[in-house]
């Protein structure tokens, strides 16, 4: 998101600007501080109170540990709410996410559901009401088991392994790196040369080595760009990172030995033509 353009679009009907800390597609952090500063000016000029919600699905459990100086959270006055996925870099098994509000007043009480049939007042703000608490306990366990230092070590390790992959891919000379060094520990990359093969073929071939590396096109206005993405998590070791780079190199050499897409299409057309005669 371009902060200038986003704030330009804010009008009297805007509830909030939603910024992303860790793009799903390339892991990039949006500039929440800049959005905050521009909104500060605009709110002062207009008397509006347009706030910011930060979708920190991945970045919420990364930025405080790897980039403590980065201001993206409640240090910025217009950030009123933040969501973060527990099952991403919160290191819990799937099915848990968190949302926190700056103050109690920032979550309007008429959105909160109160029940008392279990013997005491229970305020709840959920979409699916009853749900097991095991994931909450798992999140709590991970936080107290690792502590700040432990979680920081894990995030640093993820980041170092992402750099091993990034540098390994750069060394092959075959790829453009589309992700940034500051962001989610992931590597998004695309082929420099598309004349013979594309990213979908690289992804298919990698499956033969047991790797599932998705290839996808970027959203509107950048849909001509296809990327492959490797997300580094806690259990992805240095050995695996080095192995992946070797396997990608092998795949590229195997693709070199295969006929290009265009040749395959031409051959298929000739076969169909001959069969029809």
Ligand X SMILES: Cc1ncc(COP(=O)(O)O)c(C=O)c1O
Q: Which is nearer to ligand X, 186 or 245 (CB)?
A: 186
Sign, Cα dihedral of 125, 129, 131, 133? positive
What 3-state DSSP class applies to 112?
Answer: coil
Stretch that binds ligand X, among 5-13, 50-58, 193-201, 231-239 (CB under 6 A): 50-58
What 3-state DSSP class applies to 204?
Answer: helix
Tell me the C-alpha distance between 151 and 75, whole Å: 21
**Does residue 135 touch ligand X according to CB under 6 A?**
no
> Applying CB under 6 A, which of residues 10, 19, 20, 76 lies at the interface with ligand X?
20
Tell me the C-alpha distance between 204 and 251, whole Å: 10
**Does residue 24 touch ligand X according to CB under 6 A?**
yes
Rg value, the chain, Cα: 23
By DSSP bridging, strand 51-55 and strand 16-20 are: parallel
Q: Strand (E) positions, the chain?
A: 16-20, 51-55, 79-85, 97-101, 113-115, 122-124, 175-177, 186-191, 215-217, 226-231
> Applying CB under 6 A, which of residues 26, 36, 50, 85 lies at the interface with ligand X?
85
Stretch that binds ligand X, among 52-60, 144-152, 173-181, 233-241 (CB under 6 A): 52-60
> Applying CB under 6 A, which of residues 28, 55, 73, 199 lies at the interface with ligand X?
55
Residue 105 class from Cβ within 10 Å (0-12 exposed, 13-18 middle, 19+ buried)? Answer: exposed
Q: Which is nearer to ligand X, 230 or 255 (CB)?
A: 230
Tell me the C-alpha distance between 91 and 84, whole Å: 12
Q: Which is nearer to ligand X, 19 or 251 (CB)?
A: 19
Q: In this structure, are residues 188 and 264 in contact, taking their beta carbons and an 8 Å threshold? A: no
Q: Which is nearer to ligand X, 88 or 174 (CB)?
A: 88
Q: How far is the CB of 102 from ligand X (least distance, A)?
A: 19
**Does residue 139 touch ligand X according to CB under 6 A?**
no
> Applying CB under 6 A, which of residues 39, 51, 57, 245 lies at the interface with ligand X?
57
**Does residue 92 touch ligand X according to CB under 6 A?**
no
Stretch that binds ligand X, among 8-16, 19-27, 40-48, 73-81 (CB under 6 A): 19-27
**Does residue 73 touch ligand X according to CB under 6 A?**
no
Query: Which residue stretches of 85-223 are H helix?
Result: 134-172, 199-207
What 3-state DSSP class applies to 51?
Answer: strand
> Applying CB under 6 A, which of residues 97, 157, 216, 242 lies at the interface with ligand X?
97
Interface positions with ligand X (CB under 6 A): 20, 22, 24, 55, 57-58, 85, 97
């Amino acid at each position: 998101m371009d902060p200038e353009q986003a704030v330009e679009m804010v009008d009297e009907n805007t509830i909030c600007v939603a910024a992303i800390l860790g793009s799903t597609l390339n892991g990039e952090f949006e500039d929440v501080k800049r959005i905050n500063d521009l909104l500060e000016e605009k709110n002062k000029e207009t008397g509006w109170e347009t706030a910011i919600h930060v979708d920190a699905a991945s970045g919420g459990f990364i930025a405080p540990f790897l980039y403590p100086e980065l201001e993206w959270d409640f240090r910025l006055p217009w950030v009123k709410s933040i969501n973060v996925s527990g099952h991403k870099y919160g290191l819990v098994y799937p099915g848990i996410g968190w949302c926190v509000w700056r103050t109690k007043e920032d979550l309007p009480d008429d959105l909160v559901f109160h029940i008392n049939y279990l013997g005491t007042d229970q305020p709840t703000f959920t979409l699916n009401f009853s749900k097991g608490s095991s994931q909450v306990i798992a999140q709590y366990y991970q936080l107290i088991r690792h502590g700040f230092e432990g979680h920081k070590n894990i995030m640093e390790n993820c980041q170092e392994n992402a750099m091993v992959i990034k540098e390994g891919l750069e060394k092959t000379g075959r790829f453009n790196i589309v992700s940034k060094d500051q962001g989610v520990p992931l590597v998004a990359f695309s082929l420099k040369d598309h004349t013979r093969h594309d990213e979908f073929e690289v992804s298919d071939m990698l499956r033969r080595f047991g790797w599932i590396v998705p290839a996808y096109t970027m959203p509107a206005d950048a849909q001509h760009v296809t990327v492959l993405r490797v997300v580094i998590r806690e259990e992805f070791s240095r050995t695996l990172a080095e192995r992946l780079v070797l396997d990608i190199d092998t795949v590229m050499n195997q693709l070199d030995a295969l006929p290009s897409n265009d040749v395959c299409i031409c051959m298929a057309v000739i076969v169909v033509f001959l069969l029809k005669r």
